[in-house]
Each structure stands twice: as C-alpha cells, then as structure tokens.
Structure 1
Amino acid sequence: MSQTNILLESGTNELEIIEFYIEETLPGGGVYRGYYGMNVAKVLEIIRRPTVTGVPSKHHPAALGTFNLRGRVLPLVDLGGWLGKQVAASDALKVIVSEFSGMVTAFLVSGVTRIHRLSWSQVEAPDMHMQTYSGQSVIGVVRFEDRIVFLLDMEKIVASMNPRADIGATLAAVEPVVTQGEQWHVLIADDSSAIRNMIGSTLEKAGFRVTRTSSGREAWDVLVDWRKRSEEERKHIYDYVDLVVSDIEMPEMDGHNLTRRIKEDQVLQKLPVVLFSSLITDALRHKGAAVGADDQISKPDLPGLTERVRGLIERFRQEASAA
C-alpha cells in the first residue's frame, strides 16, 4: 500500500482508520493477535521492514534505530514493544510511516488488514478502567462483529520517546499575565484529559478564563446552552464566550464537525474557532479551512496558541464594534 489518497468531505464527522495488528507470543507458546487502528490522515505510506541502523545510545527500548527512506532518515519505533508485548517473530512485518505533530515517524507492526470508513459517533471513548489498563494509550474503541479495534494515542507514544513532541515541555515558555479589566473566556474541546488541562492551564496562566469539555459533542451542547441564554437575556454571545479551541480527533463529534456547526449557526458564527491538533499539516490544512476555522495550530505549540488566541479575540471584538 502506498500514499493514501482516500478523501473525506470536511465537517461530516467521518474518519477513516487503518486497521493493523500486533501478534504477541504468549507465555504458553501460543500467539495472540491484537487489533489496533490509527487515523488514515496520519499515514504517509506502508512499507516492508527496511534495513535498520542502530543508534549509539537510546533512551527507550522501543526505539529500534533509523532507516533511509528515499534520502530521508526516519526513526523506527517497535509499536508492540512500546505496548509491552513480546512480538512474534515474522518475515512479513510491516512499517507504517506517519506524519503528525510536525514530525515523520515510522512504526513497526505485525501486519495491516484494511481501511475502515466510520463516523466518530461509532468511536467509543475508553472508560476509566480501560484508560488505567492501557496506560492512557487508547483514545477510542471501535466494535466490529468479530473483533474490537483499539485506536492508539500515537501522539502520546511519540512524546514519550521524543521530548520535542511533548506538549507539556512547552508550558514553561508561556509568560504569566496579570489580568486587568475584562477576562476573556475560552471554551476548550479535547478528549485527552492531560492535554485538555495543559491547554487550560496555559490559557489561564496567560490571563484567560477557561471552560473545559472532553468532546466536540459536549462542547456543542455547552455552546447551544450559551446561545439560548444569550437570546433569552438579549445579550451578545461574547457575554458568555469569546473563542473556541478544539482538537480534531475526538469520539462522538470531531473538531471539523464542531467547527462547521458553529460557522453555520447564525449566532455562534460570530465566535472565532482555533483548531489545535497534531493533524495540522500543509497537506491537511485545507480541511480546516473548508469548515471555516479561523486559525489552525499544530500541537505542541502552546506559546503560539496563546498569542494567536489573544489576537483573534481582539480582531473579532473590533469587527463586532465596528459593525
């Protein structure tokens, strides 16, 4: 399988996942096949296992080394090893080359099955037990008739091995602000509790008031409630919220669908929307533009997020005053 070309219309709340498997050698000698998935939008291509060059030193046992792909040196991660599994030996191992968080990373897996087109409403958020059991590495669960596919938090996996991809490492770069006068209110939608709280803490440190939600669906319900209150109390929507920051990949309702709903609503369309996601790349930026996102920022740039949020609120406020 080469470069993925399957296209989805932006804002329809659909996604495509590539399903792959990891074969684990069990203590009794048998082999167990576990099924996993990741967003096709992150996949550049799938190749056979290449010749790998070891690195002088490595800080994580799942870091296998590097390989040359058409003149580009890429890191190779043993995904099964990262998940704590004893991967069964095979001559048919596959490598998924992916791009997100501004980096290209390759993952070694046992094999690839197929691509599924789904609605985000079919993706179940993992419960607390699943999160604890999986070490917070699962972001969604998809049930098929004969198996369950776990959607992995690829950003967390990469960040655990590369500090440059860790959103928490950028917190110190945000300067605290002493708030004077009105405190602007930002609504956050992100299914990762850790990232949601880091974004919230960063914006609060920068002088904003923050409301946190765990999905696009929850954020939409909050916005609809604020819209109703603004109409009943005959106030501007800015009296309730000034801006929305949303991830893209979320169970139930994704960030593109949330943005599209906001921009199609006669009242809520006055709100600026910022998409803050590891999926913000040159190749995928058009998807956010198609649904009306006012800005798109790639994780983990938290300092850039605060600066651009402030600039957008100021611009939208000025335009509203001049209207």
Structure 2
Amino acid sequence: MDTLIQSVDQRTRLAGANRLEILLFSLGKDSHTGREEVFGINVFKIREVMHVPEVTHAPDMPPGVKGMVSLRGQMIPVVDMAHFCDLDVETKPSVLIVTEFNRSTQGFLVHSVEQILRMEWNEIKVPPPMLANRLGGLVTAVTELPDKRIVMIIDVEKILAETELEQDDLTRFEGVESFGRDATVLFADDSSVARKQIAMTLDTLGIKHLSAKNGEEAWARLEEIAERAKAMNVPVYDLVQLVLTDIEMPGMDGYVLTRKIKDDKRFAGIPVVMHSSLSADANITIGKSVGVDAYVPKFDPRELAKTLEPFIKIKTAD
C-alpha cells in the first residue's frame, strides 16, 4: 500500500495547475440497498494507507470513534467512516487511511481502497441537492468515473466536527474581539462546517461578509461586484476589502481563483488570504507563486483574526 502515496512535490505541482489526485475507496456493500458505493478523498490529505492495526478501545469515546492506534509513537483516533455515512455493512473494515489536515492526524476505517485517480478540479462538481443531503450532508463534491460510477467526495472536516475531535467552538473564540472597522470580506469554501466557522469568526470581528461554495461561485460574485462598482463609479475595493479562500474546491480551486484575481486590474488592492486545511510548506509556496498575500491554516479563529487584522485595519484606515 505504500506505493499508493508517493511524491508530495509531484502532487503539489498538480494542485498549482487546478488538478488533483483522489484516492478511491469503498466502505463495503450496504445490506439495505445491496450497493457498494465509491468515495474519494484528496491524496494531499493522506499521510499513509495501511492494513488496520490493533485498535485500543477506550471509554467515553465520541460516537463513531472506535478507539486509538499507536503510529510510530503517536496515538491517533480511529474513525469508522461507515458509521458517519449511515451504512449498515456486514464486512469489517480492513484498511486504515491515515489523514493529516487542520493540523490534526486521524485514521479512517474503510473496507478497501481502489486506485488513485488524477483529475482536474473542473471535473469535480458541486453535488445536486438530493445527493448533497445524503449521508447526513457529508458529500461535498462528486465526479463521474469513465465506467459511469459516481464518486462522492466526503467533507472530512465535517466528520471531525461531528466526532468532537475538533475543539469546542466557544472555547476557540476566547480572545477574539471586534476590529471596530467597517469592512466586507468575500470568502469561499466548499465545506459547510468551514463556512459556518468562518462566518462566526467574521461576525465576532464585526466584519460584514459574503460567502461562496467554491472558486467558480466566488469568481462569479466578484464579477457581479465589479459590475456594480463600475455602475457606481467606484473601485471594487470600496465594496469588498479582502478575499478569503480555501484551496480544495470543486470547479475552480483556490490557486486558480487567486491567480484570476491578481491578474485582473479591476481587483487591484484587494488582498487574498488563503485559509486551508492543507498547511504543508509546499502549499504555502504555491500560494505565494500565484500572488496570495497571506496563508493561514484551518481552523483557529484567533489565528485567522490575527492574519486578517493588518489587512483590514490598514486598508480601511486609508
């Protein structure tokens, strides 16, 4: 299984070109429907794939968390993916996908892994409402395989939130105070959990905000704002003072969105801050290469506030 996850540098170059690789996996055949559906996760979030090691069970674990495993001296929580997808499967999971994002490490139990699929982000689509509402709202994007199977890409950040592996929201907001400035931020993120967290932070900071579910939607909103600014005979910066973007988004990723903003004179003076669970140095380097003004890992409201503050205060004080 080690050959599944290879060069991070190669995958970094893919990300900068609006491409990605997703690992396809199965959670087993649902005993109710008889179907074995295909799921996917961005390889960038995966540290390794292994056969399930011995799991140490502990009392008072959150629902869906099977216990802990020791991985090279580090104890990491093990999450049963079938539980969160509400699938009743008879076979036991045989594979552990060890993931690393949001500066946390956890293992996801799955039935089997299939292959790594190289794709462009414009082949990854926002799921239609009927599909998005399946599996408790865990499906954040979908794509179609050549054999016509549908791959559902899971919102792993939502899983962390629901397993309570993420710190309580109220605790995270201690020390976050209003900037006392009149400003508007446009933010883009395909995760419903992330959008909620960002909105809560901006509300606490006293900043007005507009949201988008992906890069394409964010770009469309920016073009609408630019048209409005033109009609008002004011610079776009008067209407929106900062763009906050995720990296991984269906249709158009954060790198491409940033490049389009920086290459368009209409958006001169508007800083772009990248806010992502992909916090490796390689991702930060790509962000800088496309013109991003700052990079902040998910998700710490205090750190996000600290990153936004100089842009908001300097620009709105002009």
- 1:168 to 1:15, Cα distance in 2 relative to 1, 3 A: farther
The aligned residue for residue 237 of structure 1 is 236
**In 2: Cα distance, 1:150 partner to 1:297 partner:** 27
User: Equivalent residue of 2:198, what SS?
Assistant: helix
CA-to-partner distance for each residue in 1:98-130, whole Å, 9 max, x for gaps? Answer: 101110111111111111111222122123222
CA-to-partner distance for each residue in 1:165-194, whole Å, 9 max, x for gaps? Answer: 5667634653245x4xx6112111122345
The aligned residue for residue 158 of structure 2 is 156
Match of 1:26 among 19, 26, 31: 31
Superposed counterparts of 1:172-321, under 5 Å? 173-176=175-178, 179=180, 183-230=182-229, 234-315=233-314
TM-score, scaled relative to structure 1: 0.86
Equivalent residues of 1:168, 1:198 under 8 A apart: no
Equivalent residues of 1:49, 1:93 under 8 A apart: yes
Superposed counterparts of 1:61-76, under 5 Å? 62-76=64-78
RMSD: 2.5
**In 2: Cα distance, 1:243 partner to 1:31 partner:** 48
CA apart distance, 1:247: 1.6
Structure 2 runs not aligned, ≥5 long? none
The aligned residue for residue 15 of structure 1 is 20
- Percent identity of the aligned residues? 33
CA apart distance, 1:42: 0.1
Equivalent residues of 1:15, 1:118 under 8 A apart: yes
> Does residue 6 of structure 2 align to residue 4 of structure 1?
yes
Structure 1 runs not aligned, ≥5 long? none
Superposed counterparts of 1:31-70, under 5 Å? 32-60=35-63, 62-70=64-72
**In 2: Cα distance, 1:33 partner to 1:143 partner:** 15
- 1:82 to 1:230, Cα distance in 2 relative to 1, 3 A: closer
CA apart distance, 1:219: 1.3
User: Equivalent residue of 2:127, what SS?
Assistant: coil
The amino acid of 1:55's aligned partner reads: A
CA-to-partner distance for each residue in 1:116-174, whole Å, 9 max, x for gaps? Answer: 11122212212322233321111011112331110001111122113435667634653
CA-to-partner distance for each residue in 1:181-235, whole Å, 9 max, x for gaps? Answer: x611211112234532442242133122212222211211222333345456553
**In 1: Cα distance, 2:204 partner to 2:54 partner:** 47
TM-score, scaled relative to structure 2: 0.87
Deviates more, 1:107-116 or 1:296-305: 296-305
Alignment length (residue pairs) = 312
- 1:88 to 1:31, Cα distance in 2 relative to 1, 3 A: farther
**In 2: Cα distance, 1:25 partner to 1:209 partner:** 44
- 1:25 to 1:138, Cα distance in 2 relative to 1, 3 A: closer
**In 1: Cα distance, 2:184 partner to 2:129 partner:** 29
